[in-house]
Structure formats: C-alpha cells, structure tokens
C-alpha cells in the first residue's frame, strides 16, 4: 500500500464526573464517550525521502504553527520511534473539528495517524494494539477511545480505560453549537471545587443507569434526563471570577481560579446552552471542558428547527448523527 485516506471523528461526552485528583496531576473520570459525524480527514502517502512532512488545510480555528508542534506530527514521530520502519511519509490534514471545543479533535487526529500508519506499513493492528494504545494514551487522554472501534464507550482512569457500550434503539439527532471562542481544559479543571462523596456516589449510580438505558434501547426521552457533566460548574458559573474555597471561608487571601481573560468564552458557552434550552431542546449538555454545547432532538425536523433558532453571528452550528459503527 502506497497511500490511504482516513477520517478522524469528533466525540461528545454524554456523562462526565470527576472522581478524584491523581498524583500525576491528571484527574480520574467516569465518562461516557460517543463518536459523532463531524470529521477531520487525513491523507497519507509513502515517499522516497526519509522524513515526515505535514500539510494542514485549516477549515477550523486551528492556530497554525510549525508542523512539528502539531499532534499529528508528534503521533507520527512516536509511531516511527516505536516500530522498526523508516519515517518516509507525507501527511495532509484537513482540519474541520473546532479546537478548544470539547470534541477531542486533536486526540482523534493522533489516533487516526497511528491507525493509518499501521495500515500503510502493513502492521497488524490487533497484534500491536497494546503498544498503539500506550502511544495513544501518551498523546491524549481521549486518544485511546478514538483508537478503539467502539462507537460508545465508558471511560475511567484519565479516560483511557475503556469498556465498549453497545447502543440499542433509535438514536436521536444532535444539534451541536460551537460558540466561536475556545475554552481551554487546564483552567477548567483547576477551578473545580470539592464535591461531597455522597454526591459523587449518587452520580456514579446515575452513570451506570445511563449505560444500562443505552444498552437496553430506552428512548432518548428517558436517558436524556441522565446526562451530566461536572465540568459545566466552573464554566457556566464563572461570570464573577471564582475564588479559592479557602479564601471564601476567610482562610487566607483570595486566589483567582479563573482569569478575567477566560470569562468571555465561558459566557458564550452559557448563552449557547440557554439558547438551546429556550429553543425547546429537552436534553442539553456541554461536551468535555467546552466550549461546544449539544442538544438531542427526536427527529431531523426538530433538530433542524432547533439549529435555525440558535443561529447567531460567530457561532458554528452542526446538525449531526451518532456513529453507531466506525
């Protein structure tokens, strides 16, 4: 094989609870990933010269920089370091998934490159899956989900420990709103406040109930009420700069958890969610750490009506499907 093309899908999180802080600085999660019909695309071609070249066609909000800084280039380099093949490939990335949107675009691109290079160089993906999984996990917490064949999966650990979820029944349509400004993951996690253990335990029961509902074919009107995202709290309630918990109780000086520069982006997320609810969408949730917000609609006509009603300058509106097979 001399060349191939591959799609890299986006994801949304139907559920996301933060269950604890890890020693490595990351957080443990209980999350439910779902692949959706918004794609970046990659074309790879073997070449004679020994190097990796990357061309990016930017149809999103990617801040273009050196090719070596792009996660696609980093994934390719890690692949060639891990397997006994010479790096001699041209890669073209068409970027459509917004950056800083909670859609996993970078992680999906990285996983797609690992898959594509395995196919291009005749490596058996099944036999080498553990090594590929470890490479993916080192590139992004969501990347192992995109490396897997699962359309839906429950993720624990950083999100890299996966259990496929078999969706049954008729899936709803998705109206996805990207407000136009990115939200960055680090500040959102740093602004999380402590949550009582009882509340977390109740949410983890809800998490299991949601998975069972998806697998049993329950209609979206039932399982849509179970959607949850802990990361909404610091984003949607951050319009006065958040203070550290200790400062609010008089234990030391006030410490900003979110910067003033972040607040306009968070306000845009809040407005997007409010507009989707106002448009009549029953199930509305922010994906990941934002900035995208999605709504579930029972049919295409309802989804189209909602999408038209939330159009505003600067927003990107996508009418999408769940990928039941990928």
Determine whether 273 is an active site residue.
no
- Which residues have CB under 8 Å from 52's CB, separation 6+? 73, 76, 77, 80, 87, 89, 91
Determine whether 11 is an active site residue.
yes
The active-site residue, picked from 11, 35, 74, 115, is 11
- Count of CB atoms situated within 10 Å of the CB of 272: 27
- Rounded-to-integer distance, Cα 119 and Cα 113, Å: 10
The active-site residue, picked from 142, 262, 273, 275, is 142
- Which residues have CB under 8 Å from 35's CB, separation 6+? 9, 10, 11, 146, 151, 152, 322, 323, 326
Q: Which residues belong to the active site?
A: 11, 142
């Amino acid at each position: 094989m001399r060349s191939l093309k591959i799609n890299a899908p986006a994801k949304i999180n139907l559920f996301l609870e933060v269950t604890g802080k890890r020693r490595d600085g990351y957080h443990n999660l209980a999350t439910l990933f779902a692949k959706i019909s918004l794609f970046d695309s990659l074309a790879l071609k073997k070449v004679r010269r020994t190097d990796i070249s990357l061309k990016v066609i930017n149809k999103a909000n990617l801040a273009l920089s050196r090719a070596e800084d792009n996660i696609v280039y980093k994934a390719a380099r890690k692949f060639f370091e891990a397997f006994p093949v010479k790096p001699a490939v041209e890669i073209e990335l068409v970027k459509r998934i917004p950056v800083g949107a909670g859609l996993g675009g970078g992680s999906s691109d990285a996983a797609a490159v690992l898959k594509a290079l395995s196919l291009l160089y005749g490596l058996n993906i099944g036999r080498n899956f553990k090594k590929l999984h470890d490479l993916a996990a080192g590139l992004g917490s969501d990347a192992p989900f995109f490396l897997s064949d699962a359309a839906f999966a429950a993720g624990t650990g950083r999100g890299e420990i996966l259990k496929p979820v078999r969706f049954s029944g008729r899936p709803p349509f998705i109206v996805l709103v990207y407000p136009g400004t990115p939200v960055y993951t680090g500040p959102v996690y740093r602004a999380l406040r402590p949550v009582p253990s009882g509340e977390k335990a109740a949410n983890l029961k809800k998490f299991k109930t949601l998975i069972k509902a998806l697998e049993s074919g329950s209609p979206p009107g039932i399982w849509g009420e179970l959607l949850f995202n802990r990361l909404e709290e610091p984003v949607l309630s951050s319009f006065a700069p958040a203070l550290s918990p200790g400062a609010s109780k008089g234990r030391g000086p006030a410490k900003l958890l979110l910067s003033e520069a972040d607040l306009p982006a968070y306000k845009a997320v809040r407005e997007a969610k409010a507009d989707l609810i106002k448009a009549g969408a029953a199930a509305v949730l922010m994906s990941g750490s934002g900035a995208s917000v999605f709504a579930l609609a029972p049919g295409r006509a309802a989804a189209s009506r909602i999408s038209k009603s939330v159009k505003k300058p600067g927003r990107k509106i996508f009418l999408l499907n769940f990928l039941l097979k990928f």
